[in-house]
Amino acid sequence: MFAFSLQTVAFLAALLSAANASPCTPKTTVTGCGKALPHGQSKGGVTSVNITSNGLGRNYLVFVPPTYNKDKPTQLILSYHGGTKTALQQLQLDDLTEPEFNTDSFVVYPQGINNSWQGVPGVTIDDVLFTNDLLDHVQTQYCIDAQRIMATGKSDGAGFNNVMACDAGLSKRVAAFAPVSGAYYVDTLPCDADNVVIPCNNARSDIPILAFHGGLDAVIYYPGGERKNACLPSVPHWIQSWATREGLDAKNHTVPYANATVIYEYSSATEKNLVNLVYDSVNGHDWPSTLPNADNENAGQFPTSFNATPMIMDFFSKHQLTKVL
């Protein structure tokens, strides 16, 4: 497992900070290829970075892959923490910095203001701007492959993945999304979870999505419903809406995957398995893992029969942007 000393964990946790942001216009991609790593950073290491977004301070953690070559464009994964959680806790949860799963991709862990994300009811922060500013900064510091910028996240962070995919700018900048236990709020009541219209302004009709959700999720219910004075669509309705949005067949193909787990795949004549939902009927509000983690060690929770992380890495490896901003 990827190990941190207690001093490193305390240092990173102390550096996590947050602030405001506002409306977004995606900016021109800038390359940092050929540059040495920033001072104090090393391959295989994690660093806390502060940037200015809209004149205010924001923060993220960045993992530099052990195999990084400053002259070779490298995949970047954005991983967003859940509500009330932190960037550091997401790093410790998702295993994307573990050598077993990843040795050649950057992983960036943005920190949300008040540990929350745009899209959650009552949150007025524009994290779309923050994400664009963060990507601009990262791409000036490292040799990033602009065609292979990916995003994942847990719960509210997964919900923000949906905000990004539905944003005209970021949907053209992020190649693929893998939300886990996502909270996909729609600002409307009363809540008809199986039919609610889900607003979306995606600028591409070929956005790859690999979503995960548990049938026993007691926080973000699989059938959806009212929460925080907003409407959570049922997860089947949410994933079907993406399939329709992307012109895929209305009927999914069900693939048995593991014990109590199936994958609902949506395809078309030209696009195979572009939109997918991994459904585990006995999983709760957890990041699926066969090993103990911060989610499944909670009372009433337990490891799953599969690991989400290698599935996400494999899914990302199959996709890239054909056009870059």
pLDDT confidence of residue 12: 52
pLDDT confidence of residue 21: 37
What is the helix, strand, coil percentage profile of the chain, to 5?
Answer: 20, 25, 55
pLDDT confidence of residue 24: 40
User: Residues 118, 123, 126, 132: is their CA dihedral positive or negative?
Assistant: negative
DSSP notation for 112-155: -GGG--TTSTT----HHHHHHHHHHHHHHHS-EEEEEEEEEEET
pLDDT confidence of residue 267: 95
Is 245 within 8 Å of 238 (Cβ atoms)? Answer: no
65-96 pLDDT per residue, tens: 999 999 999 999 999 999 999 999 999 999 99
Per-residue pLDDT band at 55 (split at 50, 70, 90): confident
Beta strands in the chain (DSSP E): 46-53, 56-63, 74-80, 106-110, 144-154, 176-180, 209-214, 225-227, 230-232, 253-258, 261-266, 275-280
- Sorted by where each begins, the domain ranges of the chain are 6-317
| Statement: the pTM of the whole predicted model exceeds 0.75 | yes
Q: Which two tokens stand for residue 272?
A: 């195979």
> Which one-letter amino acid corresponds to residue 210?
L
Q: Which two tokens stand for residue 276?
A: 């997918």
Q: Taking the domain 6-317, which CATH number applies?
A: 3.40.50.1820
Q: Which two tokens stand for residue 158?
A: 């997964």
How far, in Å, are 218, 219, 252 from residue 271 at the CA level? 34, 33, 13
200-249 pLDDT per residue, tens: 999 999 999 999 999 999 999 999 999 999 999 999 999 999 999 999 99
pLDDT-wise least confident of 6-10, 47-51, 65-69: 6-10
pLDDT confidence of residue 149: 98
